[in-house]
A and B are shown apart, each in its own frame.
Chain A
Amino acid sequence: MNKNIKFVQGNEACVEGAIYAGIDFFAGYPITPSTEIAELLSRRLPQKGGKFVQMEDEIASVCAILGASLTGHKVMTATSGPGFSLKQEAIGYACMAEIPCVIVNVQRGGPSTGNPTHVGQGDINQARWGTHGDHSIIALTASNHQDVFEMTIEAFNLAETYRTPVILLFDEAVGHMREKLVIPEKNEIPIVNRLRTALKKGVDYHPYLPREDGRLPMSDFGGDHRYNVTGLLHDMWGFPSNDPKVVKGLLHHLNDKISNNIHRITRYKEHYLEDAEYILISYGSSARTAIHIAKNRRARNEKLGVLELQSLWPFPKEMVREKCRNAKAVLVVEMNMGQVLAQVKACIDRPETVFLANRIDGELITPSDVKSILRVIQGRGV
């Protein structure tokens, strides 16, 4: 028996990933179906010298992690749809002030308090545009527990690399089901730690002056350097500015640091995709249904494959267009009214060949749901 093998819920795999990545501060407010993340971290974090705080609500939780991150900690909070709505203002603040943080949204049925104990994937667009203004964001997702573990580590790594909030968009089905998780040995998966300024105490430090490579070294707030942090558009010292040149420069910087690195941020998996004539595009728990179908169809020599997206934002347009170039038809499998469908249609050469297989009733989309739509697309009737 391998001591690194665990049989856990997806939410626990997320906790294990966060711990592997070096989380040392979590603030949260419990909400189904994400509660296990807070519950487990309330035990695990104090054991390793970290801090767990249950705050009075979701807004306070996200604000607490932003403060902790500025002082040099690796931070995360976890919630579901209603809590994710409340966190939007602070997510915008984190984008503007460039504060590394990880926000987990274990999606349930929405809108509003919706369907708390059932699965949904309706927060895809909210993850991108939930907070106002021209901003950029990274959102990752996963369909199985090994990937939940790895994507959680990726989220911390990308947050530190690009000084940005990273959203982990899991869903109730993956969050609550149990399956195997193998925890890698230390150092098997690279960890990105904070880039700190080399400037000594007392030397002028410009918190928002990018280096040549575009990165901004940080200084632990309250430590060696005094600086200002604000949600207002700001200059290189962090002080508010409405100088048009400064405003324009900062907005470009905030967006370009993500969009110029799409190829580095994009994560995806291919299942039987090489010569596929029909391509299912999916992510999260619905990708499990898609892969199930592809595996069975391949056994019958049908050329059907799955493109599983693991990064949803920035949307990997070039990659999706390239992978689907030779497909007769593309079927987006998701549990919403077509949020990723719209992205795929917008980036693909022949949008008329893109179809939706969805389910929005709180149940996991089944292989027969998808197969019946596939029959219609393939001209084989219902």
Chain B
Amino acid sequence: MKRTRLVFSGSGGQGVITAAIILAEAAVIYENMNAVQSQSYGAAARGGSTRSDIILSDSNIYFPEVTSPNILVCLTQEAYAKFSPIIRPGGLLITDSKFVQTFKKIDAKQIELPMYETVMGKIGKPIVFNICMLGALIGITDLLQFDSIMQVLKTKIPSYFIKMNEKALKTGIDLGSQQRQSL
């Protein structure tokens, strides 16, 4: 039984929950997997730390939350400090090198990627930072196909933003796949 538990974390407005929904929806609708996505949030509309849990599996998923993730993505220092201790031993930790300074060794593969700076350099819009992160994730792990993510994006965003998102996704995949070779 194959089961992947992911936690995306960052701050409100970075799009971590949106990225989690896109990933899980792509898995269910285009790759015939089961997925559950959940999030915890407070009463604030933006800011504060955000977290979204995703479980991907080929069998039924009952308990929907992730207690120790195989894959943890942290897009802020606060999220890194809060969640890095819960990663599953031997798991994968992805951080953004602009926002997160890793300060300790953990029993996981640690990958620091300049996702934000690459997005700003190549596209210039922070709004697709989260899509670049999704690209990096599938570039490193082969979790899902590029096409599946694109299909979901096409149903979720206005057509004139598709090109920009596609570019961000590809940029992320490039960043991620370079890392895969070094693993």
Selected interface stretch from B20-28, B85-93, B117-125, B160-168: B20-28
Taking CB atoms, residues of chain A closer than 8 Å to B43 are 116-117
Selected interface stretch from B4-12, B29-37, B74-82, B175-183: B29-37
A1 interface hit (Cβ, 8 Å): yes
Taking CB atoms, residues of chain A closer than 8 Å to B64 are 173, 177, 179, 285, 288, 364
B36 touches A177 (CB 8 A): yes
A180 interface hit (Cβ, 8 Å): yes
Taking CB atoms, residues of chain A closer than 8 Å to B103 are none
Taking CB atoms, residues of chain B closer than 8 Å to A180 are 28, 34-35
Name the one of A1, A117, A178, A288 contacting B62, with C-beta atoms under 8 angstroms: A288
Known: A5-B28, A7-B24. A289 touches B38 (CB 8 A): no
Measured between alpha carbons, how far is A292 from B36 in the docked complex, in Å?
Answer: 14
Chain B residues 19-74 with CB under 8 Å of chain A are 21, 24-25, 28-30, 34-39, 41-43, 61-65, 67
Chain A residues 78-133 with CB under 8 Å of chain B are 116-117
Name the one of B21, B29, B36, B65 contacting A1, with C-beta atoms under 8 angstroms: B29
Interface size (A, Cβ < 8 Å)? 22
Known: A7-B29, A7-B35. A178 touches B63 (CB 8 A): no
Measured between alpha carbons, how far is A292 from B3 in the docked complex, in Å?
Answer: 14
Taking CB atoms, residues of chain A closer than 8 Å to B38 are 173, 176-178
Nearest-Cβ distance from residue A299 to partner chain B, whole angstroms: 10
A35 interface hit (Cβ, 8 Å): no
A295 touches B62 (CB 8 A): yes
Taking CB atoms, residues of chain B closer than 8 Å to A364 are 63-65
Taking CB atoms, residues of chain A closer than 8 Å to B67 are 366, 368
Taking CB atoms, residues of chain A closer than 8 Å to B34 are 179-180
Measured between alpha carbons, how far is A176 from B20 in the docked complex, in Å?
Answer: 14
Nearest-Cβ distance from residue B51 to partner chain A, whole angstroms: 13
Taking CB atoms, residues of chain A closer than 8 Å to B37 are 177-179
Measured between alpha carbons, how far is A117 from B42 in the docked complex, in Å?
Answer: 6
Chain A residues 1-23 with CB under 8 Å of chain B are 1, 5-7
The contact string, 1 if C-beta is below 8 Å from chain B, for chain A 275-315, is 00000000001001101100100000000000000000000
Counting chain B CB atoms within 10 Å of each CB, the highest count among A5, A7, A295 belongs to A7
Measured between alpha carbons, how far is A1 from B67 in the docked complex, in Å?
Answer: 31
The contact string, 1 if C-beta is below 8 Å from chain B, for chain A 341-382, is 000000000000000000000001011100000000000000
B28 touches A7 (CB 8 A): yes
Nearest to A294 among chain B residues (CB) is B62
Nearest to B39 among chain A residues (CB) is A176
Taking CB atoms, residues of chain B closer than 8 Å to A288 are 62-64
Taking CB atoms, residues of chain B closer than 8 Å to A295 are 62
The contact string, 1 if C-beta is below 8 Å from chain B, for chain A 167-195, is 00000010011111000000000000000
Taking CB atoms, residues of chain A closer than 8 Å to B39 are 176
A367 touches B28 (CB 8 A): no
B24 touches A178 (CB 8 A): yes
Nearest to B26 among chain A residues (CB) is A7
Measured between alpha carbons, how far is A179 from B57 in the docked complex, in Å?
Answer: 12
Nearest to B27 among chain A residues (CB) is A7
Taking CB atoms, residues of chain B closer than 8 Å to A117 are 41-43
Measured between alpha carbons, how far is A205 from B165 in the docked complex, in Å?
Answer: 64
Measured between alpha carbons, how far is A181 from B101 in the docked complex, in Å?
Answer: 40
Taking CB atoms, residues of chain B closer than 8 Å to A366 are 63, 65, 67
Nearest-Cβ distance from residue B109 to partner chain A, whole angstroms: 26
Counting chain A CB atoms within 10 Å of each CB, the highest count among B25, B35, B38 belongs to B38
Taking CB atoms, residues of chain B closer than 8 Å to A7 are 21, 24-25, 28-29, 35
Measured between alpha carbons, how far is A176 from B17 in the docked complex, in Å?
Answer: 12
Nearest-Cβ distance from residue B154 to partner chain A, whole angstroms: 13
Nearest-Cβ distance from residue A108 to partner chain B, whole angstroms: 12
Taking CB atoms, residues of chain B closer than 8 Å to A177 are 36-38, 64
Taking CB atoms, residues of chain B closer than 8 Å to A289 are 62-63
Known: A177-B64, A288-B62, A288-B64. A1 touches B25 (CB 8 A): no
Counting chain A CB atoms within 10 Å of each CB, the highest count among B34, B35, B37, B62 belongs to B62
Taking CB atoms, residues of chain B closer than 8 Å to A178 are 21, 24-25, 35-38
Taking CB atoms, residues of chain A closer than 8 Å to B21 are 7, 178
Q: Which 4 residue pairs are nearest across A and B when measured between Cβ atoms?
A: A292-B62, A292-B63, A177-B38, A7-B25
**Residues of B that sit less than 8 Å from A by CB:** 21, 24-25, 28-30, 34-39, 41-43, 61-65, 67
**Residues of A that sit less than 8 Å from B by CB:** 1, 5-7, 116-117, 173, 176-180, 285, 288-289, 291-292, 295, 364, 366-368
Known interface pairs A180-B34, A366-B63; 7 further A-B residue pairs with C-beta atoms within 8 A, sorted by A's residue number = A176-B39, A178-B35, A178-B36, A179-B35, A180-B28, A366-B65, A368-B67
